[in-house]
Structure 1
């Protein structure tokens, strides 16, 4: 079992980094194989330029880093995204990863009708999105519009044919007690220690 982790947070002392470590600990307990793409440390450029957009139209990616990331996804059985929610959305690097890697000709293509999509990732069994935010879950869903579920999970991953997409949301991070944070990390570790190949 090969898990590819796409991680986006600039601070190693963050709770997101603790989540990353919990995921890795769980995978190690399961004797799984993993690789981490740390977008901040790898200085990934999230900006779509004119050449990227032309490549999108032609279904021919031009960014060498994006192409290499897509190749890693092709080799993975499971993909995990870890990032914080800032102003109700993902950080720029995660959004840029979606724009430049979840890309026609790389991870999906269009059917003859030009609207429906088909996945180019036959090995990928599941995708897990793990996020943190300070907004309460009910408020994020009912007042803020649940952008992660609507735009990322349904509007991108499921639309492009990615299977078994799950979202683990940890809310009110600054407000909860340390004991609850530890409990959440243990839950994450258990989840990945039991993941089947």
Structure 2
């Protein structure tokens, strides 16, 4: 499978970066074709300008810095997001990437008075998330409502193939986990990536 890994963490030596490396290395070893977008490392600009917003619904070419990301989305059969959950959702860097890259005509059609919005990224048939969270699972799930999970596994999934499979891996209470627990989570990530059909 052609897997696009989207990573969003500013610190290269972070545990989150180790999770990304584990996912990429395991996928390649399993025979997948992998591309990596490391948003912080490449200095992606997550801010949509006024000019870009005005042209958002036009059929013209996207901004030059967005075009390679759109090409990668169209290439991919599977998307794997690796990021820390901050304030119950994605970092601003990743949310800005979604705002600028998941554009009309690329990932969905704009609804009209006679036509509903339709998915356009039907080449994608797998979406996975690998994340860490500071909050306990019960607090994030039951009290907060898991907004970051719903955004990707429901919102972004709508733009993809009808039978897109999804998975979610989250290490809760990240700030108090010991080395053994982190190592177990890395093993869990590797096992889930190996489970993806080639």
TM-score calculated relative to the size of structure 1? 0.90
Match of 1:63 in 2: 63
Q: Residue by residue, what CA displacement relative to the aligned partner does 1:117-148 show, whole Å, maximum 9, x if unpaired?
A: 32222321211122111101110012223111
Match of 1:110 in 2: 110
For residues 1-197 of structure 1, the aligned pairs below 5 Å read 1-60=1-60, 62-110=62-110, 112-113=112-113, 116-154=116-154, 156-161=155-160, 163-197=164-198
Unaligned 5+ residue runs, structure 1?
Answer: none
CA contact (8 A) 1:157 1:165 kept: no
CA contact (8 A) 2:124 2:160 kept: no
CA contact (8 A) 1:129 1:167 kept: yes
What is the Cα deviation at residue 67 of structure 1? Answer: 2.1
What is the Cα deviation at residue 34 of structure 1? Answer: 0.6
Q: How far apart, CA to CA, are the structure 2 residues paired with 1:111 and 1:191?
A: 36
Check 1:174–1:115 CA distance in 2 against 1; reply closer, same or farther (3 A cut): farther
CA contact (8 A) 1:7 1:83 kept: yes
Give the SS at the match of 1:89.
Answer: coil
Q: Residue by residue, what CA displacement relative to the aligned partner does 1:6-25 show, whole Å, maximum 9, x if unpaired?
A: 10111111111111111022
CA contact (8 A) 1:118 1:161 kept: no
TM-score calculated relative to the size of structure 2? 0.90
Give the SS at the match of 1:106.
Answer: coil
Q: How far apart, CA to CA, are the structure 2 residues paired with 1:23 and 1:114?
A: 43
Check 1:114–1:73 CA distance in 2 against 1; reply closer, same or farther (3 A cut): farther
Check 1:152–1:21 CA distance in 2 against 1; reply closer, same or farther (3 A cut): same
- The answer to which of 90-99 and 58-67 deviates more is 58-67
